[in-house]
Amino acid sequence: MAKRASNSVEGRRGANRAAGGGDGPKPIAFDDLTLVKRFRQGDMESFSLLVAKYQDRIYNMLLRMCGRAADAEELAQEAFLRAMERIGQFHGRSKFYTWLFRIAANLAISHRRRGGRIKFHSLSGPEDGDTSAADALTSPLASRRQIGPAEAVETVETNEYVMDALGQLDEEFRLVIVLRDIEEMDYAQVADVMNVPVGTVKSRLHRARAMLRDRLRGLLDDYE
């Protein structure tokens, strides 16, 4: 059972075909609760569909939390394995995907605390090939003016600076930024993932944004 989930996550991009991609016929689209119920009844393919549905979002969130593609892949596999093993603890009081995100987020926080502060790598580098997180955080810079060819190399440096600034935040502040500003979850969903009241999410997000702006102030001033 663990091997099936691990293989599904390792084939992160190709597994999307199981959820309707590729040239074959599309399977019937079941909602999460139906898939969970079918899995509990012994249908392994139902959990594979859940993996295919959420693996990219889980991987992307973990990448923003830990900063390395290899670590994100490993943590994503562990998150789905734990979800599979603990499926009996999911009672449907929250959305399945927020329950899954909570498992993944807790793994990322534990990973970060074990390894201490992590030096973030450029998300435009060959290891990751994904600049969406940095782009989301630096979009105010990009909108100020067009960047000419001579400045192209500075874009990579800017992305590295932003991701390093994000990496300097404590776990709870970085997580709330990732969930709200990058994953674009609403306040109730973020509260569910973080297992805190909505009011706590709002105050924590306000503080996190202020801290991030403080770290980026020098960079933003360069583009005034």
CATH 1.10.10.10 location in the chain: 119-224
Of all residues in the chain, what percent carry a pLDDT higher than 90? 45
Orientation angle between helical segments 96-115 and 44-66, nearest 10 degrees: 40
Tens-digit pLDDT profile for residues 107-135: 999 998 887 444 433 333 334 444 343 34
pLDDT digits (tens, 9 = 90+) for 21-31: 444 444 445 79
Region label for 170, one of left (φ > 0), alpha (ψ between -120 and 50) or beta (otherwise):
beta
| Per CATH, domain 1-116 is 1.10.150.120 | no
pTM of the model: 0.67
The confidence score (pLDDT) of residue 218 equals 60
Neighbours of 9 (CB within 10 A): 22
Q: How many residues are given for the chain?
A: 224
Q: CATH for 119-224, among 2.70.150.10, 1.10.10.10, 1.10.472.10, 3.40.50.300?
A: 1.10.10.10
The CATH 1.10.1740.10 portion of the chain extends over 1-116
